Each structure stands twice: as structure tokens, then as C-alpha cells.
Amino acid sequence: MYRERSAAFLYNTNNYKAKEVIAIKISWIKYEKDDKNFKLPERLGLEVLKLKNPEETDDTIKKLIEKQYKTVILSNEIAGFSEDIVKKYQKDKNINIIIATSKEYNGN
């Protein structure tokens, strides 16, 4: 379920003797029926986790953090189902929880 496809790599080319590779593990989480959010990461081949049950949000975040993911981006709809993100991770400087705005518009 958690593949390393969601890692971004930065190369430090300032040191000519050895190239340093820094892996940044990022995960996107959205509701399975959501077809509007996180299209770009999906098109780039990065894994976007699609939850069948939004009540699994907190458990999914915990599992990602155990796998050393430092940035978790949640759709606005999924973030509403998490009880822990504000209380638990707000003061943790090592974990970045980002809530993306909704892509649903009421354009009449």
C-alpha cells in the first residue's frame, strides 16, 4: 500500500566529489470517490492514497509517519474526518500536515 513512488529526490551538486541525494517522502490522501483533487501527482506517477472509508484517515497518517513520511497532504474532505491532525501534529516540527483546499466550485 505504501510504495516509495511518493518520494521526491533532490540532488546537491555543489560538492563535486560526491553527489548527495536527499529523499523527501510525501504522501497524498483523498477519498476514493474524489476525482477532482490531486490530479497532478497522479499524472506524474506518484501514488495518491485513496481511502474507501474516510474514518481510516488517522490510522493511515500514523502508518505513513511510521514509514518516515515527513509530509502528508490531505484533501479538505478527508481532513474533516481526522481527529488527530490538529491536536497531535500541530506542534511537531518534524511532520508537515497540509490540508489542500477543495477543487469543487459553484460556478453558475
CATH code, domain with 59? 3.40.50.10580
Indicate whether 96 belongs to any domain.
Answer: yes
Q: What is the pLDDT of residue 21?
A: 63
Q: What is the pLDDT of residue 91?
A: 80
Grid cell digits, residue 49: 492514497
What is the distance between the alpha carbons of residues 89 and 45, in angstroms, rounded to a whole number? Answer: 28
Dihedral class, residue 68 (left if φ above 0, else alpha if ψ from -120 to 50, else beta): left
What is the distance between the alpha carbons of residues 13 and 68, in angstroms, rounded to a whole number? Answer: 25
Indicate whether 19 belongs to any domain.
Answer: no
Q: What is the pLDDT of residue 43?
A: 92
Q: What is the pLDDT of residue 107?
A: 44
Pick out the chain residues at pLDDT < 50. Answer: 1-5, 105-108
Q: What is the pLDDT of residue 45?
A: 87
Q: Could you give the number of structural domains in the chain?
A: 1
Query: Containing domain of residue 81, as a range?
Result: 26-100
Question: Nearest-5° angle of CA 53, CA 66, CA 12?
Answer: 115
Say which DSSP state 9 is in.
Answer: E
Q: What is the pLDDT of residue 75?
A: 92
Indicate whether 93 belongs to any domain.
Answer: yes
Q: Which of 45, 33, 34, 31 is nearest to 80 (CA)?
A: 31
